[in-house]
Structure 1
């Protein structure tokens, strides 16, 4: 029942019920029901009907309040993301661009072979960091996640970007029912999945990625895996200090009290697993 009809019934139904009750009581029930009992039953009927209708009204108001709260959180989150994106663009991104320009000028000067090789390595590093910053800005400027449908659409969008930019096919096996995750959980899990797909594009040299998520129990715990068939990496490479993406994913999982596992080997691809409510020592 809509909010409009609930208000209508709360206003008019008690009046109609009292009128009908008094008519039926005086015309048909007067020989059977005393005046005292009739006077007691009239407010009792009104109270029961009003209570039934107001419960529905309060439930509708609670839903509207929750929707308004989600919208406020979404707006605040989007504003913060926009501000951070501007700071990245005006700060790091422009600094990297200027550094690239200076490297171009440096290449036109007389350098020995070792210096030229060092300059080229610096250029590659600057380009790599610049691409990461641009991707981060794009992710921050994407709409904030507040509902399950748009959240899942964002995962599909990340998979589509991976296919267009790198030709990597993403198989999505999503078995998490709506309402299982909170807004905070949706945002953090989406960020981890997007970062994992970005790492596939940059490092894995894979042709296929699987994203598999399902519910573990009625308490809302879940198990999510991202697997690729790429070249893989040794544990020392995964744990290297410059693997900021992996550190970011791990930190996000730890902040949510999730278990985070990453396994990889040369020639065997990489598997990332995020679990809530799982065994931390698994």
Structure 2
């Protein structure tokens, strides 16, 4: 990209004047000499003395004219070389601006071009943050690190030169503001004797400042200002492009952060696990050194989770009353509250541990506060930008529903456990209770038979009691095995596979589990999983007790939006219509049907005498 300076037009005009001067000046000199000759005695100019005088005048005039012309040409050549170097520097800077989005690289190249083209002893570029009315040094050449450190998020109101450049949009020479004590002190310490601050412009607005300084007296001419104006345009564009690039990167980072937090909060329904994962993700994504999550309770907030389990609580407390302190302000306002060391709500415990910033992020769900996330950092600039605080608000909005879901899941599990206990008590009463009642009755009958001396009948009844006791023992083992098999952390299909393996080893029946791949990809509620496992256990128990089967297959598959569970055996089978109105077979089938209906599903049974039995359960699922 070629760059031309407007000042070239002025240079061309001066060259045209020089050409005319070289034509007009000799003619004017000759005419003046001729006038002098005509104005004096003719004999004077014809004498030897007149000849010498004429020769000296012509020689002096020609020499003076030649020296003036050569000096002017040399000055033009120097200016042309300077402008050519400035144009070349601007071209290189324009190329760097268009080729690279990295602001530090572009600014570094720009500073090198400025120093090389102007011969400056030091140069510095600052980036302007208009919303915060601050500026930050982002690159320098020749200045001490102390100057760079001083201009970090520095307020414009505290910098006379920077504020004047931003206000006027025009260059400001150091000499014009050396009356200010701060400017004079910095200039003296750095050895600066002259310099200028030039605005960096983009779309008519100032977005930065470039400083050019000399440790000697230097007069800035129009060419210097024109060159620095061009530099300001290119670096201003570079800053604008970098801002767009940084905004894009920040948006991607925020989106990635939200996705990471979402993944952390959706990976589990256990409250402790959800909060630990979420807090770990947040502390990694932000510049926080430590974090805590507090949850609402009846009389306030209670500390529930800490990212660092080794140290003491951040706020040195584990309970906070409603509406009190930093946590109370966050829950009342519903917005992230940021406090720094020295402010009233900044806890002394934070100061003692070296933290300088603390943020309280409300966790709100449907307008109600469910808790507060507290983050602390030792770096004073941490979590200071509006975008960072907005990101924390968005993260809080994601964690709050996860907390509610985990609480709801816990409540559902508690209800499911109570319902399961009720069903187990009914099964024990109607199943084992009947057998134990039969055993008790038979024991009394055997006792009477023995008292009457009828030992043959008594032995027969004892054999019946032995069979009942063995059946009861098998039922107890079966129930214990069933109670041990629950989805838990291992998952639904893993728990089912473990149960069927133990069933095969315990009872000697060839039991096989077949699971279609798509089963693992569907979502199931905890109630659905528990009921399905209990139905399969009851079906296999029926096979053991009544089917006289050698093998049984359990199949899990997906049919559209339905999870299908089939249990089929090669046993004796039966006529479903001929079952007694009461008793264990009828009771077991009824319990399976009730479990399927409780989870929103259906239960069907197919059986024929001599051709085995097939139980089919269908449960609705969510993709």
Whether TM-score is above 0.5 comes out as yes
Aligned with residue 49 of structure 1, among 375, 379, 391: 391
Q: 1:276/1:78 Cα in 2 relative to 1: closer, same or farther (>3 Å)?
A: closer
Aligned to 1:174: 515
Aligned with residue 618 of structure 2, among 275, 278, 281: 275
TM-score (norm: length of structure 1):
0.66
Aligned with residue 554 of structure 2, among 211, 214, 223: 211
Q: 1:172/1:84 Cα in 2 relative to 1: closer, same or farther (>3 Å)?
A: same
Cα offset for 1:49?
A: 2.5
Aligned to 1:249: 592
Q: Do the aligned residues in 2 keep the contact of 1:170 with 1:209 (CA within 8 Å)? A: yes
Q: Does 1:195 align with 2:561?
A: no
Q: Do the aligned residues in 2 keep the contact of 1:226 with 1:272 (CA within 8 Å)? A: yes
Cα offset for 1:249?
A: 1.5
Cα offset for 1:60?
A: 5.2
Q: How big is each residue's C-alpha offset from its partner over 1:156-211, in whole Å with a ceiling of 9 and x where there is no partner?
A: 34423432343211111123226622121122211111110011111112111110
Q: Do the aligned residues in 1 keep the contact of 2:542 with 2:588 (CA within 8 Å)? A: yes
Aligned to 1:26: none
Q: 1:107/1:174 Cα in 2 relative to 1: closer, same or farther (>3 Å)?
A: farther
Q: Does 1:3 align with 2:344?
A: no
Q: 1:78/1:188 Cα in 2 relative to 1: closer, same or farther (>3 Å)?
A: closer
How many residues matched?
A: 250
Cα offset for 1:226?
A: 0.4
Aligned to 1:101: 443
Q: 1:122/1:199 Cα in 2 relative to 1: closer, same or farther (>3 Å)?
A: same
Aligned-partner Cα distance in 2 for 1:271–1:214:
15
Aligned with residue 160 of structure 1, among 485, 501, 513: 501
Cα offset for 1:274?
A: 0.9
Q: Does 1:16 align with 2:357?
A: no
- The answer for unaligned runs of 5 or more in structure 2 is 1-259, 261-276, 287-358, 360-374
- The answer for unaligned runs of 5 or more in structure 1 is 19-41
Q: 1:74/1:146 Cα in 2 relative to 1: closer, same or farther (>3 Å)?
A: farther
Helix, strand or coil at the partner of 1:16: coil
Q: Does 1:258 align with 2:601?
A: yes
Aligned-partner Cα distance in 2 for 1:249–1:137:
15
Q: Do the aligned residues in 1 keep the contact of 2:554 with 2:566 (CA within 8 Å)? A: yes
CA RMSD after TM alignment: 4.4
Q: Do the aligned residues in 1 keep the contact of 2:485 with 2:495 (CA within 8 Å)? A: no
Which structure is higher in helix share? Answer: 1
Helix, strand or coil at the partner of 1:173: strand
Aligned to 2:241: none
Aligned-partner Cα distance in 1 for 2:444–2:419:
36
Which structure is higher in strand share? Answer: 2
Q: Which has the larger radius of gyration?
A: 2
Q: Do the aligned residues in 2 keep the contact of 1:173 with 1:212 (CA within 8 Å)? A: yes
